């Protein structure tokens, strides 16, 4: 009985460390994005959604590991895990988060940006060529339309 409670406390402590890591990592990732990005403008809503998903995951984890038994000390151990992460492991995981942003997120962002700019420039060139080719036709059409309404 006591070993099960101790295991439950350790599991909830680890769950708190995981929750702290996920929240801190998402904040680090979002702070690494450019300010104009639409994700940066919606950080409060996205963080709230992450908290809700983590809450559901925690309760599902409790259901799987303890058969749905919930004790009042479980959230306390999870909060202790969050505080433990904040005081001891935060710098290391922030470094990993920044490294992740620099090595993966920013290159993907720039690749998508360059591809979208390429298609935008391609669209403008094609549009300009089509308008240039159709300019005589549109001028003739306007002249013909103008003479028709004058009569």
Residue pair 56/36 in contact by the 8 Å Cβ criterion: no
Burial of 143 (0-12, 13-18, 19+ CB in 10 A): exposed
Write out the DSSP string of 89-130. IHHHHHHHHHHHIIIIIHHHHHHHHHHHHHHHHHHHHHHHHH
User: What pLDDT is recorded for position 136?
Assistant: 87
Q: How far apart are CA 78 and CA 10, in angstroms?
A: 9
User: What pLDDT is recorded for position 125?
Assistant: 96
Q: Which residue shows structure tokens 């308008």? A: 131
Q: How far apart are CA 90 and CA 76, in angstroms?
A: 20
User: What pLDDT is recorded for position 57?
Assistant: 87
User: What pLDDT is recorded for position 147?
Assistant: 64
pLDDT tens, per residue, the chain with 151 residues: 677 778 888 888 888 999 998 888 788 777 777 777 676 677 888 888 998 998 888 888 878 877 777 778 888 888 999 999 989 988 888 788 778 889 998 999 999 999 999 999 999 999 999 999 988 888 887 777 766 666 5
């Amino acid at each position: 009985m006591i070993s099960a409670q101790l295991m439950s406390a350790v599991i909830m402590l680890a769950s708190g460390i995981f929750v702290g890591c996920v929240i801190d990592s998402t904040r680090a990732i979002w702070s690494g994005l450019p300010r104009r990005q639409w994700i940066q403008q919606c950080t409060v809503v996205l963080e709230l959604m992450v908290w809700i998903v983590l809450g559901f995951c925690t309760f599902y984890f409790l259901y799987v590991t303890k058969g749905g038994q919930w004790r009042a000390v479980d959230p306390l151990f999870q909060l202790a895990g969050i505080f433990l992460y904040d005081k001891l492991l935060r710098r290391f995981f922030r470094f990993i988060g920044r490294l992740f942003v620099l090595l993966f997120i920013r290159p993907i962002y720039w690749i998508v940006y360059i591809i979208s700019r390429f298609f935008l420039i391609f669209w403008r060139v094609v549009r300009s060529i089509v308008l240039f080719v159709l300019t005589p036709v549109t001028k003739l059409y306007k002249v013909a339309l103008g003479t028709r309404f004058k009569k």
